[in-house]
Amino acid sequence: MRIVRTVAALREAVGTDPAVPVGLVPTMGAFHAGHLALFRAARAENDVVVASLFVNPAQFRPGEDLARYPRDEARDEALADEAGVDVLFVPSVDEMYPPGFQTWVEVEELSRGLEGAARPGHFRGVATVCLKLFSIVRPRRAYFGQKDAQQAAVVKRLVRDLDLGVEIRVGPIVREEDGLALSSRNVYLDPAERKAAASLSDALRDAARAYAAGERDPVRLRAVLVARLRAEPLADLEYAELVDAATFEKPGTLAVIAARIGKTRLIDNHDLSIPLPG
């Protein structure tokens, strides 16, 4: 695996032959099994696999965890190499946002609700860095996780609206044994919080069971989600909604949740028309 830190070195390592399919997995590092599953999916479908490791300051709000976001490049390099990544792109902030940088892309409606409302400017940062990565790497396919469902919807819309010609693949959510969705931020949880964090997937499982039992009223399905989260004293519910998976408009069967466990903000989601095992 090659490690490159500049746009020029990346272009040189990847080449520009349109006949060679390139798969890109954008990441912020602190790899876990969710990231590794995306690397493997890219490996299976492309001749060249590029992963980017860039903690993108533009998608963090002041007061969020940019400064303390977990970073361990040596560990990430070993894991990426093992999972079949050919080129790991690790640019500096200056390489991605050189002095005078002032061009931003915004996916307007999809960025407004839920995560966009809780984190204003977040999806503008995500869309801009993804557009930059697509234009630097020129991948045939790019891989994202369903864990960040609204992000995946924003990126799909970006590609469609700007005719970027990148095939967006979305991998399933990889979960811990108790259902907690893997996240780089789970390391912030102390043991009691870690236990309480399972309440997010518990709530999604309860609602999927209610759906399987015939419940279709979005108000009552939402009440099932809320009840389970309110029953966990360490969980502070931010939102729980049922939305359409493509438009993120209400109503739909995609249940999306955000909650704080102590100081840590977690998100999860699940399509209620599919049972959630556990």
Give the residue numbers marked as catalytic. Answer: 35
Of the residues 35, 124, 205, 228, which one makes contact with ligand PAJ according to CB under 6 A: 35
Of the residues 36, 90, 114, 129, which one makes contact with ligand PAJ according to CB under 6 A: 129
Sign of CA dihedral 167, 14, 71, 195: positive
Work out whether strand 87-89 and strand 141-145 pair parallel, antiparallel, or are unpaired: unpaired
- Site membership for ligand PAJ, residue 34 (CB under 6 A): yes
Of the residues 23, 139, 171, 179, which one makes contact with ligand PAJ according to CB under 6 A: 171
- Site membership for ligand PAJ, residue 111 (CB under 6 A): no
Of the residues 38, 83, 158, 266, which one makes contact with ligand PAJ according to CB under 6 A: 38
Binders of ligand PAJ among residues 198 to 227 (CB under 6 A) are none
> Minimum Å distance from CB 29 to ligand PAJ?
6
> Minimum Å distance from CB 171 to ligand PAJ?
5
Of the residues 128, 183, 201, 253, which one makes contact with ligand PAJ according to CB under 6 A: 183
| Residue (23 or 145) nearer to ligand PAJ, CB | 145
Stretch that binds ligand PAJ, among 103-111, 170-178, 246-254, 261-269 (CB under 6 A): 170-178
> Minimum Å distance from CB 80 to ligand PAJ?
12
Stretch that binds ligand PAJ, among 78-86, 97-105, 179-187, 217-225 (CB under 6 A): 179-187
Binders of ligand PAJ among residues 39 to 68 (CB under 6 A) are 56, 59
- Site membership for ligand PAJ, residue 126 (CB under 6 A): yes
Count residues contacting ligand PAJ (CB under 6 A)?
A: 23
DSSP string, the chain: -EEE-SHHHHHHHH---TTS-EEEEEE-S---HHHHHHHHHHHHH-SEEEEEE---GGGSPTTSSTTTS---HHHHHHHHHHTT-SEEE---HHHHS-TT-------TGGGTSTHHHHSTTHHHHHHHHHHHHHHHH--SEEEEEGGGHHHHHHHHHHHHHTT---EEEEEPPPB-TTSPBP-GGGGG--HHHHHHTHHHHHHHHHHHHHHHTT---HHHHHHHHHHHHHT-TTEEEEEEEEE-TTT-PSS-SEEEEEEEETTEEEEEEEETTS----
User: Which among 23, 42, 28, 141 is positioned nearest to 83, based on CA atoms?
Assistant: 42
Of the residues 145, 186, 270, 276, which one makes contact with ligand PAJ according to CB under 6 A: 145
| Residue (26 or 139) nearer to ligand PAJ, CB | 26
Site of interaction with ligand PAJ (CB under 6 A) = 26-28, 34-35, 38, 56, 59, 126, 129-130, 144-145, 147-148, 151, 171, 173-174, 181-184
